């Protein structure tokens, strides 16, 4: 039996996560989103008005199938395609509209066979990066850079009924908004600052943008996509 500790930041104490709950338009679809880091959970739990809780769980992962999007089997465009399949993006032009279709057709991995998905967390900052790439104002290499250096953390999503049956509540810790909301704001500001510095660089010939990927008809196994950002 392999047990791991997870944390879920929330405004509430959640003793029994409910299978089938949660919003369908989250990053990886409907599921229960956690982190391995209690400090991140405490940041995610707080708003500017309210404190929250870092709920702690033990998860038995033995026998469960895990998709690790930051691992060597996947690349940044797989993550983008999953986001495009679940989140609502700003489509500012015809190229972005064509890019959304192309990305889903070429790079969307099959998530149905997995019990758990681990990957980057597309909160406000990361989602802005993804939107910029879709709208051809951020290159592929810039997207990789801001994702890696933004330090907004990874998330673990329990997807299947089997995964929900393996999670056990251990307790919760209060997250004080006066301590953790400012930390959340600083983390977000640093990521946005990095994004702006990359976005403001002029487009150069040796950079690859989504329009180039479409024109050249890149495939999922293209050598230029080998390796991940971690």
Q: Residue 100 CA to chain centroid, in angstroms?
A: 17
- Range of lowest pLDDT (72-76, 83-87, 89-93, 218-222): 89-93
Parent domain of 53: 3-223
Nearest alpha-carbon partner for 151 in 198, 191, 105: 191
Does this model's pTM top 0.85? My answer is: yes
Q: Is residue 30 part of a domain?
A: yes
Cβ atoms of 55 and 172 closer than 8 Å? yes
Q: Is residue 229 part of a domain?
A: no
Q: Is residue 33 part of a domain?
A: yes
Cα dihedral sign for 145, 147, 152, 156?
negative
Instruction: Check residue 122 and report its DSSP letter.
Output: -
Q: Is residue 34 part of a domain?
A: yes
Does pLDDT of 106 surpass 60?
yes
Helix, strand, coil percentages for the chain (3-state, nearest 5): 40, 20, 40
Does pLDDT of 230 surpass 90?
no
- Record the tokens describing residue 50, joined without a space: 């309210």
Q: Is residue 136 part of a domain?
A: yes
Give the per-residue pLDDT at 201: 66
Does pLDDT of 14 surpass 90?
yes
Mean pLDDT for 9-37 is: 90
Instruction: Check residue 115 and report its DSSP letter.
Output: S
Q: How confident is the model at residue 101 (pLDDT cuts 50, 70, 90)?
A: very high
Q: Is residue 195 part of a domain?
A: yes
Q: Is residue 127 part of a domain?
A: yes
Does pLDDT of 92 surpass 70?
yes
> How many domains is the chain partitioned into structurally?
1
Calculate the average pLDDT of the chain: 87
Q: Could you report the per-residue pLDDT of 107-158, keeping only the tens digit for each?
A: 999 999 999 999 887 666 677 788 888 888 888 988 887 776 655 568 899 9
Q: Could you report the per-residue pLDDT of 160-216, keeping only the tens digit for each?
A: 999 999 999 999 999 999 999 999 888 888 877 877 776 666 656 678 999 999 999
């Amino acid at each position: 039996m392999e047990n791991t500790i997870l944390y879920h930041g929330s405004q509430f104490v959640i003793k029994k996560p409910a299978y089938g709950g949660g919003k369908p338009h989250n990053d990886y679809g409907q599921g229960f989103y956690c982190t391995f880091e209690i400090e991140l959970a405490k940041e995610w739990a707080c708003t500017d008005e309210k404190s929250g809780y870092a709920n702690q769980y033990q998860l038995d992962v033995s026998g469960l199938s895990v998709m690790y999007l930051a691992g060597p089997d996947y690349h940044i465009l797989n993550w983008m395609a999953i986001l495009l399949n679940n989140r609502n993006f700003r489509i500012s032009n015809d190229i972005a509209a064509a890019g959304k279709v192309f990305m889903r057709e070429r790079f969307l991995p099959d998530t149905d066979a997995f019990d758990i998905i681990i990957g980057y967390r597309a909160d406000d900052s990361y989602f802005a990066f993804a939107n910029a790439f879709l709208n051809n104002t951020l290159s592929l290499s810039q997207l990789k850079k801001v994702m890696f250096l933004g330090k907004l953390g990874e998330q673990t999503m329990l997807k299947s009924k089997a995964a929900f049956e393996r999670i056990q509540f251990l307790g919760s810790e209060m997250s004080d908004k006066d301590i953790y909301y400012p930390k959340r704001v600083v983390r977000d500001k640093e990521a946005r600052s990095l994004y702006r510095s990359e976005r403001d660089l002029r487009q150069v010939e040796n950079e690859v943008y989504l329009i180039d990927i479409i024109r050249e008809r890149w495939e999922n196994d293209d050598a230029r996509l080998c390796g991940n950002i971690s």
